[in-house]
Structure 1
Amino acid sequence: MRNPEVRPGRGAPDNRVPTRFGLATREADGDWLDAREGIDGEAPKMRTTVTVERPKTIISRNVSPDIGFDRSINAYRGCEHGCIYCFARPTHVFHDLSPGLDFETRLFAKPDAAKLLRAELGRRGYVPETIAMGTNTDPYQPIEDEWRITRSILEVLKETNHPFSITTKSDRVLRDLDLIAPMAALGLAHVAISVTSLTPAISRTLEPRAPATRKRLAAVKALAEAGVPAYVSIAPVVPAITDHEMEALVEAAAEAGAKGVFYIPVRLPHEVAPLFRAWLDEHYPDRAGKVMAIIRSLRGGRDNDPNFGTRMRGQGPWADLLRIRFQRAVAKHGLNRERLHLRTDLFQPPEGDQMRLF
């Protein structure tokens, strides 16, 4: 039977509340518009709300050996793209919200991000390194159209010649090409576009509110033509659902003008695993058991492997097969020939209240 909680155009099949922090069980309760009776027996569409968040700092630090940056900025918390596999979903639990539908509909915006960034870059002793954006939630999700927080951050980075990288699933990144392209020309910026599947029917269920794949590949082409080092992230690779497209995705990236491509097998940390299982039961009941069996094979017999060294690439025969296929496709299309290093020597601290003397 179809899950009555499934909302049209949303990724998570329900709004379950996790028990990891002992939160009380509750029902999803939106406003009166959300509570209207659904059409043709379907659950009603949910409205998106945005709450202002005012953190004291905006740069997040990490010491993970699995990723190539030690600092990042997330302009938003939660993401309307609704990707069912998103490893950031559990962060909503800290707000007493569900990592399910709440993560997609109850968003948080940080309008003071640029002001906070200016203050942090101006601190005595600050040492510049690449700031990564889009590492947790997408900086170009739909609410960026109104809030323009990502653009305000880029303006500060351009003013100070600070290196940055962007990862996104959206062609909205092209709206800031006037800021990104000059930075790229100085060796201070690169962009990665995430492309998960070339099959529209798959994309509509995996990531229901993200721009179509053709738009993302067109964005890769536009970035490359503007001189911006553009990459394609095949992330995540979902066994028995998208893994058969590996070679085609690498080829599409090459045709779009990408300098390189990388992939990550699907990760299911904390509350993502039960949500993903429910999603499989709803959309792929014919292969749900097979998908989870392969994922457990990739993750050392568990739904998720949190360990450094293996969490980003998997382990076992399935991981080896994905790696070999990927390497052959990359070699065939001449990608990943050079490693990009962004410059840090051009950085100038923000002026602050007084103009620079020199």
Structure 2
Amino acid sequence: MSQPIKGRGAQRKVHNRFFELEHEFRADFLNYCTQEGEEHESNQTRYIEVFPKTFVNKVVSPDVRMEFSANPYQGCEHGCVYCYARNSHEYWGYGAGVDFERNILIKRDAPKLLEQTLQKKSWKGNTIVFSGNTDCYQPVERKLKITRACLEVMLKWKHPTGIITKNSLILRDLDILMEMAKFNTIAVNVSINTLSEKTRRLLEPRTASIKQRLKTVEILSEKGIPVNVMIAPVIPSLNSHEVLPIIKKVSQLGAVSVAHTVVRLNGQIALLFEDWARKTIPHRADRILNQIAQCHGGNLNDSNWGRRMRGEGTIAKQISDSVKLGKKKYLTGRGMPQLDKTHYLQLKDPQMRLF
């Protein structure tokens, strides 16, 4: 592709590794069958309804700090080029590249399936995190409001809820979040990995601006909703120098904690990220790719649990030390609360009130 794909993170399609065959169209055939000025492949987003039997998923990765996740959408129009979730789109029959951003699967039955889970006798009320895979507040949520309907279910049952997002659209649901906060059943994680709007546009083309995300942290905090800022991923020589400034800024806006991960380019993401880097920041591509590899034993990916999220070596240690210093300097005495599930258990089983 000689011309960049406007508004997309990934700059190419990649083959789905589960498919033995791949259709390849010759350029001369495309020129023959398309009219002058017509693109052979649309860059528009498609929304496809799917009908899963369940909605809440158990998270088995021991180094991911959640037990259960829920994703109203699969695929994500935000287009973050580094996103680990891209590979999961292959299980739905799509590619991890531009397919992940162009083909968004929607689960309209999510609120009903969610309530069915909460009503099960075997369900213990452990925190469910929305966006464990893809952002529950991506652009189509403004119209469909599936996430809002799910939050209404969580509020109804007073169930512990976590949210991960990089979209200020979450402020639309402030009324629900404030009610949940009264019962200590909500915690929000806002992803901010740069203070530079230029870097944000390159890495995350369709996300909320940095200004809007900082405002989101401030408003949520003012309303008594605990906010953790995720500096994720930290990419050596691209945003690694911003760790301390980010922690300082979000602490001033009311965030109670921060967390970080070092970028790892698992599966097809390595191919996509390298292609993106050489097209968008060619003068820095080699340095960035080499330093990422230094954090992962010479590879762009690292699948070793415990090490894969933090990296190893000098560069990874420098990043980790910066985070520790920032926490000590700006966040001493703060921390995310333990969410309360007793309200849910009492609603589910009134006899629990006797104990």
TM-score, L = length of structure 2: 0.91
Q: Indicate the SS of the match to 2:343.
A: coil
Change in 2 beyond 3 A, CA 1:36/1:283: farther
Change in 2 beyond 3 A, CA 1:306/1:336: farther
Q: Indicate the SS of the match to 1:231.
A: strand
Q: CA deviation at 1:25?
A: 4.1
Matched with 2:205 is 208
Same amino acid, percent of matched pairs: 35
Q: CA deviation at 1:345?
A: 0.8
| Preserved contact between residue 7 and residue 206 of structure 2 (Cα < 8 Å) | yes
Query: Residues 263-311 of structure 1: CA distance to partner in whole angstroms, max 9, x if unpaired?
Result: 1111211011100000000111112111111111111221111111111
Which residue type is aligned with residue 149 of structure 1? I
Q: Distance in 2 between matches of 1:111 and 1:328?
A: 44
Which residue type is aligned with residue 229 of structure 2? V
Query: Residues 173-214 of structure 1: CA distance to partner in whole angstroms, max 9, x if unpaired?
Result: 011111111111211101011012111111111000001001
Q: CA deviation at 1:68?
A: 2.1
Matched with 1:354 is none
Q: Distance in 1 between matches of 2:73 and 2:185?
A: 23
Q: Distance in 2 between matches of 1:43 and 1:286?
A: 31
Q: Indicate the SS of the match to 2:151.
A: helix
From 13, 16, 28, the equivalent of 2:14 is 16
Q: Report matched runs for 1:10-159 at 5 Å.
A: 10-19=8-17, 21-26=19-24, 46-159=43-156
Q: Distance in 2 between matches of 1:38 and 1:222?
A: 46
| Preserved contact between residue 23 and residue 96 of structure 1 (Cα < 8 Å) | no
Change in 2 beyond 3 A, CA 1:319/1:6: same
| Preserved contact between residue 82 and residue 208 of structure 1 (Cα < 8 Å) | yes
Q: CA deviation at 1:26?
A: 4.1
From 209, 227, 232, the equivalent of 1:230 is 227
Matched with 2:306 is 309
| Preserved contact between residue 125 and residue 345 of structure 2 (Cα < 8 Å) | no
Change in 2 beyond 3 A, CA 1:170/1:103: same
Change in 2 beyond 3 A, CA 1:297/1:43: farther
Q: Indicate the SS of the match to 1:249.
A: helix
Q: Distance in 2 between matches of 1:36 and 1:311?
A: 48
Matched with 2:276 is 279
Which residue type is aligned with residue 17 of structure 1? H
Which residue type is aligned with residue 301 of structure 1? G
Query: Residues 128-172 of structure 1: CA distance to partner in whole angstroms, max 9, x if unpaired?
Result: 100011121000000001111101110111011100110100000
Q: Distance in 2 between matches of 1:208 and 1:296?
A: 25
Which residue type is aligned with residue 7 of structure 1? I
| Preserved contact between residue 160 and residue 349 of structure 1 (Cα < 8 Å) | no
Matched with 2:351 is none
Structure 1 residue ranges without an equivalent (≥5): 29-34, 352-357
| Preserved contact between residue 299 and residue 314 of structure 1 (Cα < 8 Å) | yes
Q: Distance in 2 between matches of 1:81 and 1:273?
A: 18
Query: Residues 70-106 of structure 1: CA distance to partner in whole angstroms, max 9, x if unpaired?
Result: 1110000000000000100011112221211111111
Matched with 1:4 is 2
Q: Distance in 1 between matches of 2:296 and 2:7?
A: 30
| Preserved contact between residue 160 and residue 341 of structure 2 (Cα < 8 Å) | yes
Matched with 2:195 is 198
Q: Distance in 1 between matches of 2:249 and 2:149?
A: 32
The answer to whether 1:338 aligns with 2:335 is: yes
Q: Distance in 1 between matches of 2:4 and 2:88?
A: 22
Q: CA deviation at 1:36?
A: 7.9
| Preserved contact between residue 228 and residue 336 of structure 2 (Cα < 8 Å) | no
Which residue type is aligned with residue 295 of structure 2? L
Q: CA deviation at 1:350?
A: 7.8
| Preserved contact between residue 125 and residue 341 of structure 2 (Cα < 8 Å) | yes
Which residue type is aligned with residue 272 of structure 1? I
Change in 2 beyond 3 A, CA 1:322/1:123: same
Which residue type is aligned with residue 270 of structure 1? G
| Preserved contact between residue 82 and residue 265 of structure 2 (Cα < 8 Å) | yes
| Preserved contact between residue 16 and residue 90 of structure 2 (Cα < 8 Å) | yes
Q: Indicate the SS of the match to 1:54.
A: coil
RMSD: 2.2
Query: Residues 321-356 of structure 1: CA distance to partner in whole angstroms, max 9, x if unpaired?
Result: 1111111122111257334211111105888xxxxx
Q: Distance in 1 between matches of 2:25 and 2:114?
A: 38
Q: Distance in 2 between matches of 1:259 and 1:292?
A: 33
